[in-house]
Structures are given as C-alpha cells and as structure tokens.
Structure 1
Amino acid sequence: MSEPRLDRPPMSRDEADRALARLRDERERIGAALLELEAHQGYQLLEGAALRGATLRVQSDVRSRTASLWLLFDLHGRVLSSAEELRARHGRPGQAQLAELTRLLEGPSVELPAAEVPLERRTLLAVPSGERLTPRAAVDRMTPLYEEVARAVAALDAVWSTLLSRLAEVEAERRAAEELLESAGGADPAFERLRDELETVAATVRADPLALARDGHADTVRLDAIRSGLAEVRRGLEEAERLREGFAARIRGVAAVLDLLREAEAEARAVRDEVLVKIAAPALPDLPGSSAALADRLAAVTRPRPGAAARGGGWRETAQRVADLERAAGAALERAHETTGLIRGLLDRREELRGRLRAYRVKASRLGHAEDAELARSYQQARELLWTSPCDLRKATVALTAYQRAVTSRTKGADR
C-alpha cells in the first residue's frame, strides 16, 4: 500500500520539534492514565474474577475496550518512535526529512489493523484494509474509550466494594455464631438456614454483583437481613453459654425469688383475712397465686429432656426458658407486693380516719367544748363506727365529716 500524501507544506524544524515534544508529553500522560486504570481496585477485581450475568457482560466490554486502548496507544507510540528516530539521525533535517516528519506527526500515519476498523466504516466490495489516523485522531479515539472504561470500572467498583465489605461483616457474624454453636454442641435449624442462604448470596456477590444493584447502587437488603438473623442466633448462643457457665447460680436466684413470692402471697392472704374481719364489705383485688405454677416451670427447666440437643434445643433453648422464668418471677413478685399494698390500704384508711377523729376531739377540748353534749354525741357515733369490727368505712367517713363540721362551726362562732 502506498503512503498517503499530506496536502500541506512541510513543517519547519522548530515546528517539528514542538510537535514531537507535545506528542511525547501526551504519550506519557496517556500511558500513566492507562496504568493507573489497570491498577484501580475495581479493574483488578474485574480482571481476576470468574463472572457471570450482567457483570460478565461488563467484564467483556471492559476487556475489549481496554485492548483497543492499548493497541491505539502502541500504534501511536510506534509512529512517535519513528519520528524521534528520524529527527535524531538528522541534526539539520532537509526538506525531505521535514516532509517525512510532517507526515508522521500530522498525517494519517497511525494505521489500524483491518480487524480494528469499525463496522460502520467498511464497505461491501472494498478489500478490508487498515484505517489510517493522524496521531491527533488516534488520541481523540482513545479518549472516549478510556472514559467509558473508567466509568464502567468505577460504577462496578462502587457496587462491588460495598457488597464485599458487607459480605465480610456477615461472614464474620456467621463465624462467631458457628464457633459458639460448636462449643454448645447440637444443631440449630435457624443457623443452618441462614448459613445456606448466605452461601447463595455470597456466590452472587462474587460472580455477578450487578445482579444485586438497584439504580446503580448496591442493594444490601438480603445481606442485612441475614446478618440480623445471624446476630440474633449469636446472641441466643451467647446467652446459652452464659447460662451453662452460671446455670446453678441463676437457678438458685430464681428459687430465691420464688421464696420471696410465696412469702408475699402469704402476706397478701393474711392481710386480706384481717381486712375481711375489720372492714365491712371491702372491694378487694384478686389474691396473687402464681408461685406454684412458676415452681413447676422451674422444676421443668432443671429436669433433663432426652434428645434436646439433637432437636436443636440444648442450652440455647434452656437459656431462653430461664430468662423467661426470671422475668415472670420478678413480675409476679412485684404484683404480689402491689396487691398487698392495695388490700392493706383499707386498714390504713381506717387508721387515718381514727387519727383525724382524735385530732378533732383534741381541738374541741382546747376550744372549751369538751362538755358540749351535741359534739359528744357526734364524736361517739363516729368512734363507734371506727372502732367496731367490721368497720363500715363509708358510714364512718360520713360520721367523721359531720363531727369535723360541727367542731369547725363552733370554732368560727368563737372567733366572732
């Protein structure tokens, strides 16, 4: 093939030197950019992985475009090297050498292989031959190729890095739960289900991360759900481990609370019996009586169950049962104390009314009404109601109120 002619006057020596310097600078910058691209984490991930699906298509496209980039870069470099060698051989180049330098530096001197000619630039009958580009046109063609590859690599890296980081966290959670499970012995169906699901998602993360992308961002919903499930399993296993290490102490603790609960229930019954004797028609809450049922639950927890470990129960299930029993016993004890307080409140109300009656009698005596017959009758009526068993608190309150009013009315009369 004959060399294409360049329809322009040859460069001057200075113009050729300046063009050479510009092309050297461009080549250095392009080479640095290509090396930096291939050193990028996303490119390294993409290059070394066995992929499938959408990510495989991106990998193929990136490899194809990168190969085209390096080919153009190499062909561009060959032309530059030829120009540099020609210039080096001729310290004072003549017209022939300047014409050749002009052809190399500004003419269509970068010849692409036929396979690299884009399909849209071929014809049906023409013999395929390499397309010729100027060094400038070669750089212009490299630029969009580089930008497309860089965008694809950066977008994939953003998704993949997020997924791999989250996957590492989930796998660390799995290992922690697995170690605890091995220590506790037995099996855990929830853990096995989550482990199997994690293996499936992990295979997708490593082979086709773009399958887990939404709107250009990593979708970590499945990984987050698995991590939450594994964390819950781990916490249960940790509780089981703590239970196994301090099982006897915790059981003694529950038994001690149940002893207190039995005492509180007995006190509530005693106070209730006293109220029934001393207070007429009292409105009483139901008596607490959960200690027996809780004692049965405690006995069941401490009783070994054949095959529990094989069914996935073991210490983890026991830990949950003990924790539930601790909460139930504490709540029952609190309710028993509250109930006793409510029942005792009726006796306290009677004592309060008695105290107020005594106080007003002292007040009447201090004001000189100790011999007042009407006050004496009112006082006696209230006193009989308050010191009679069972005491009618409603009637006693009415009688005390009447006595208070009578004493108060005489106090006002004395003041006038």
Structure 2
Amino acid sequence: MNRDEVDRALHDLRDEKERISAALLDLEGHQGRRLLDGTAVSGETGRLQAGLRSRLTELWSLFDLYGAALDAAEELRARHPKPGQAQLAELTRLLTGPSVELPMEEVPIERRTLLSSPTGEKLTLAGTVERMTPLFEEAARMVADVDAVWSELLSVLGTVEAERGEVAALAASLGGGPDPELDRACREIDVLAAAVRADPLSFKKDGRADASRLRAAGTGLAGVRRRLAEAAAFRDGAEARLRQAALAVDGVREAEAAARRARDEVLVKIAAPVLPEIADRSAVLVDRLAAVKGLRDARRWNDLAERVLDLERAAAAALEQARADHDLVTGLLDRREELRGRLDAYRVKAGRLGLAEDAELTRIYQEARELLWTSPCDLRKATVTLSGYQQAISSRTKGSDR
C-alpha cells in the first residue's frame, strides 16, 4: 500500500471502529440486556443470559484486539510522516494482514486443532469484523427477544399488582379478619410475579409473550374487588338494610305465630288431623340478627354484607315455609267450610225438586250437618255422608224422570 492508500484505510477503519463501538454500546445499553444483567434469572431465561454474556464477552474482547491493532497502525503512521518501504510494508500488514492475534483462551475449542499455536488464532481487521458480526446479531436478537417478552409481561403484571394493592386497601378499609378469596388471589399473583421475574421466557408461546395466566389472575382479583365494592356500598346503607332485615325477621315470627294459632284451632275443630309441626325458625333468625348487629358495631363491613345477605335469604325461606304451613293447616278448615256449603246447596236442590219432606234425605242431611257443625269435625266421615246425601238426591231425581 502506498501512503495515500494507508491514510484512506486508516480513515475508513477509524470510522468503522467508531460505528462498531457505538453499536456495542447500544447493545450494552439495551433495556433487554439491562433487565437480564440486573436480575437473577433461571430456566430458559437463565440459559439465554449465559449465552448473551458469553457473546458480549467475546465481542468486547475481539473489539479490544481490533482496536489495539488499529492503534498500532495509527501510532506507526504518526511516527513516520513520510514512511519508507519498510514502514509501508508494516502498515500494510497491520491494516490488511493477520494483525489481530487471539490468545489461545479466546479461540473456541471447535476452532482449535491438535497442533494449534499456543499464541492462538490470527485474524485480519476485516476478519475480526466478520467474526464479530454474527456474534453481535445473535446477541441483538437475544436482548430484543427477552425485552419484547419481558416488557409485555411486566406491563400486565404491573397492572395486576396495582389492582391487588387497591383491592387490599379496600379490604383493609372494610375491617374484619382475613379474606380467604383475596388471600388465595394474592398468593397466585405472587407465584406468577416470581415466575415472570425469574424466567419470563417460560411464558413465551408461539414466539410471543403469553400473559393469559396473568390476565386470568387479574380477572379473579376483579371478582374479589366487585364483592368488596358491594360491601363498601353496603356500609353506606347498612342501617337501612339492618332495619329491613329486622322487619323480615318480625314477619317470620308473625307468620309462625299465625300458623300455630291456626294449628291450635284445627286441633280443636277437626278430628285426628295430620298436621305439621310449626318450627320456631324466627328464634334462630333473631340470634343471627343480633350477631350481624355485632359485626356492624365492630365495623366489619365485608363480613356484615355477606351475613346480612344470608340472613335475608334465610328469612325469606322461613317466611315462605311458615306461610306454606299455615295454608296446609287452614286447608282443613277450608275443606270443612267447603263441605258445609255443598251440604246447603244440596238441601236447596232437594227442596227445589220437592224432596224437602223425604224422611230418608232428611235423616242423611241431619247426620251430615251434625258431623260438619260439631267440633271436632270428622272430615272423612262427613265427606262420605255428604256424598251419600248427594247420591240419594240424584237417585230420586232419576226415579221421578222414569
């Protein structure tokens, strides 16, 4: 190379070195590399971290050797403003020849031979760049890959953890003891958060970050939040709800009392009735009402909301059962009234048919009337007698028709 060619080569190589340096610094400063460098990772991400560190170490080592050879050429050219043939030959060797000497430990085992020189492999400056290029591209792909996965996962995780903080604060404001559902959701989030930070690549699916488990945990947390928000809303209207619950309990007590009065009446007026026992559910409800008022006094709003809702449901069920018992009991009295009405109707029919003086019909009528107007009333026997009275009237009607 002549002097002009040497100077042009030095200029181009200095520019090349600056661009390589800038690229390496960008790689070192990449968010994906910083995330990996500042975190203890494991699994697939740990293997990628080890591979990245190996490539970065080799890249910087090659760059330092590249820079050292270029510095030697620049120093030689600076010492000889008008280089002679010997200096030009050395400059040519440094710039285009195998001037980059790799220590043996820098030569990968797969590139060594049994008789490799202990001084290691020698590369040209261009060969050194060629050696660095695939290492840089692989390292860049690694940091970009982990950054893309990690960034999306951390974004979703950040949202979920912020939601957890808000839900936990809401639960604390409601008082009460531990919330099993919230605790379970928080444990699940903790496990997922640890996995995201330790091995984000384990969440990679089809080449992309799979945040579905994180989002599912967030959905579960949203369910807890809705329940707690309902409890908070309940807190603001707690007194009105408690008054309504007390009225519901009173309603059950009154309905049970009415059913018992009806039962006592039936036992007097109906012979051998099959009647249900009227359970005293209102007494249990009164105890539960006192318990929920205790929760109100303790300001345990989350527990209170659930207990009042349960109490309202229990009161509604008890009221329905008390009314059903009442209807079942009074059904016997209604049956007696129905039979009385039918007896009167049949008597009117007999009179209209001119059978008012029929001795047999009168006897059956009197028997049925005595049964129906005597306490206790034998409904079964009265029903049979009334049926006989109806049949007797019908048979006489058919006889007169003939």
Comparing 191-200 with 202-211, greater Cα deviation is found at 191-200
Within 5 Å, give how 1:12-411 maps onto structure 2: 50-54=39-43, 55-61=45-51, 119-127=109-117, 128-129=120-121, 160=150, 163-164=153-154, 167-184=157-174, 188=178, 190=180, 193=183, 197=187, 200-201=190-191, 203-210=193-200, 213=203, 224=216, 228=220, 231-232=223-224, 234-235=225-226, 237-303=228-294, 314-411=300-397
Q: In 1, are the aligned partners of 2:156 and 2:211 still within 8 Å (CA)?
A: no
Counterpart residue type for residue 253 of structure 1: Q
SS in structure 2 opposite 1:201? helix
Compared CA separation, residues 321 and 119, structure 1 to 2 (3 A): same
Counterpart residue type for residue 277 of structure 1: V
- Distance in 1 (CA, whole Å) between partners of 2:351 and 2:33 is 103
1:362-402 Cα deviation digits (max 9, x unpaired): 44444444444333333332222222211111111212222
In the TM superposition, residue 251 of structure 1 has moved relative to its aligned partner by 1.9
Q: In 1, are the aligned partners of 2:157 and 2:214 still within 8 Å (CA)?
A: no
Q: In 2, are the aligned partners of 1:284 and 1:343 still within 8 Å (CA)?
A: yes
Q: In 2, are the aligned partners of 1:112 and 1:131 still within 8 Å (CA)?
A: yes
- Distance in 2 (CA, whole Å) between partners of 1:392 and 1:190 is 59
Within 5 Å, give how 1:3-14 maps onto structure 2: none
User: Match for residue 89 of structure 2?
Assistant: none
In the TM superposition, residue 272 of structure 1 has moved relative to its aligned partner by 1.4
Structure 1 vs Structure 2 CA RMSD: 5.2
Compared CA separation, residues 192 and 278, structure 1 to 2 (3 A): closer
Q: In 2, are the aligned partners of 1:254 and 1:326 still within 8 Å (CA)?
A: yes
> How many residues matched?
341
Q: In 1, are the aligned partners of 2:196 and 2:203 still within 8 Å (CA)?
A: no
TM-score (norm 1): 0.61
- Percent identity for Structure 1 against Structure 2: 47
1:268-294 Cα deviation digits (max 9, x unpaired): 122112211211111111114232332
Task: Point out where structure 1 has 5 or more consecutive residues left out of the alignment.
Answer: 1-33, 73-108
- Distance in 2 (CA, whole Å) between partners of 1:116 and 1:204 is 36
In the TM superposition, residue 157 of structure 1 has moved relative to its aligned partner by 5.1
Q: In 1, are the aligned partners of 2:271 and 2:377 still within 8 Å (CA)?
A: yes
In the TM superposition, residue 155 of structure 1 has moved relative to its aligned partner by 8.9
Q: In 2, are the aligned partners of 1:69 and 1:146 still within 8 Å (CA)?
A: no
Compared CA separation, residues 163 and 286, structure 1 to 2 (3 A): farther
Compared CA separation, residues 210 and 395, structure 1 to 2 (3 A): same
- Distance in 2 (CA, whole Å) between partners of 1:177 and 1:320 is 17
Compared CA separation, residues 383 and 365, structure 1 to 2 (3 A): same
Compared CA separation, residues 276 and 121, structure 1 to 2 (3 A): same
In the TM superposition, residue 190 of structure 1 has moved relative to its aligned partner by 4.5
Compared CA separation, residues 367 and 50, structure 1 to 2 (3 A): same
Counterpart residue type for residue 320 of structure 2: E
User: Match for residue 91 of structure 1?
Assistant: none
Q: In 2, are the aligned partners of 1:268 and 1:343 still within 8 Å (CA)?
A: yes
SS in structure 2 opposite 1:283? coil
- Distance in 2 (CA, whole Å) between partners of 1:394 and 1:42 is 92
